[in-house]
Amino acid sequence: MSCFTLAARDGEARAGTLHTAHGDISTPVFMPVGTQASVKGVAPDELTACGVSIVLANAYHLYLRPGTDVIRHAGGLHAFMSWPGAILTDSGGFQVFSLARLSRVDDDGYHFASHLDGSRHTFTPELVVSIQEALGSDIAMVLDDLVPAGVDEERAREAAQRTLCWAKRAKEAQQRADQLSFAIVQGSTYEMLRRTNARELTALDFPGYAIGGLWVGEDRSLGLAIVEVCNQELPVDKPRYLMGVGTPEDMIEAIRRGVDMFDSVYPTRSARHALALTSAGRLNLRNAAHARDMRPLDESCDCPVCASFTRAYIAHLFRAGEMLGPRLVSVHNVALLTVLARAARAAILDGRFERWSAERLDALRRSAGALS
């Protein structure tokens, strides 16, 4: 039985349902990042109040701390972090990539030094499957070879071929029937490498597919072009996940090109820098103009923060150095991206996505470059 039901299409934009062991997920969907079993500054009940149905955690970080034995002893990752919804765990490939000075890669896997204590480890595709099965996540990403923007075609081809080999090994190693496994398309910004990798991974018949290795330094327009290329090759009846992308503009553009799932640290990282996302653009809460503004962060938002607090109060929290300020904006920003994905879904179901997306992008462009 397929884990994904496609309900409607409007152009290339899609509305569907992803079926997991911890509930059905309506798509398009934004997944807040809880790298270390915690979405920074946001408690599980607050995520639920924002309408969040699935969060992301990271196998690399949880393997190093607190360790899979601790989480297994707690009854699995859901119980450990007291989260009743679905969880997707990333393989850790991006973390090893971002800590390149501490690691090397070969056909066996990633060999790296812990950023915590310098201890040596090797991540093989099989070990990463084992870690994620011990964590008990609903969706597990297979290990992939991620390369930075600007690499030559030979290195990109090597990474794509290695990613394919690792996907085969991961599939053979899987034992849990209740955990969905997603393969990751690589190939940097080379169109034919992406097409070939997507076709070869599709032939392995994974439950879902991700597009990785983008938004790592390449031009945004090129990234979107590669998303379009990948989606032309990936199966229509399976979920498509664009990894590490989560600004409102990028989400809308990627949904337009057929993406179903997103994750990013952007909403919580922005919040820690006093940047609130709104339907009309971004607010810099350190701006003096907000000191006496008694409006909510976004007058069209019904999140718990906008229902209870004013811009003036939240701006005061930042000026006073109170930790509640970043927390409140984190909750709001996560809610806004969750609602954005939900609104995109409604527009697709109603056959009005092109008009909706054009209006939203126009509002965001008009506010760009001039934080209020």
Task: Catalogue all structural domains in the chain, each as residue range(s) with its CATH number.
Answer: 4-264 (3.20.20.105), 271-364 (no CATH)
Query: Is residue 187 left, alpha or beta, with left meaning phi > 0 and alpha meaning psi from -120 to 50?
Result: left
DSSP string covering 244-302: TB--HHHHHHHHHTT--EEEESHHHHHHHTTEEEETTEEEETTSGGGTT--S-S-TT--
Average pLDDT over residues 322-338: 98
Tokens 């992301």 appear where? 56
Q: Which of 138, 260, 263, 293 is catalytic?
A: 263
Would you state the pLDDT for residue 369? Answer: 53
* pLDDT at 134 > cutoff 60: yes
Residue 248: name the closest of 281, 283, 216 by CA: 281
State yes or no: is 45 an active-site residue.
no
Q: How many CB atoms lie within 10 A of CB 129?
A: 25
* pLDDT at 190 > cutoff 80: yes
* pLDDT at 202 > cutoff 60: yes
| Structure confidence by residue, pLDDT tens digits, 33-91 | 999 999 999 999 999 999 999 999 999 999 999 999 999 999 999 999 999 999 999 99
Tokens representing 244? 């590490």
Kindly state the DSSP code that residue 99 receives in the 8-state scheme.
T
* pLDDT at 371 > cutoff 60: no
| Structure confidence by residue, pLDDT tens digits, 153-167 | 999 999 999 999 999
Would you state the pLDDT for residue 155? Answer: 97
Q: Which of 90, 144, 145, 293 is catalytic?
A: 90
State yes or no: is 138 an active-site residue.
no
Would you state the pLDDT for residue 1? Answer: 60
- pTM for the structure as a whole: 0.97
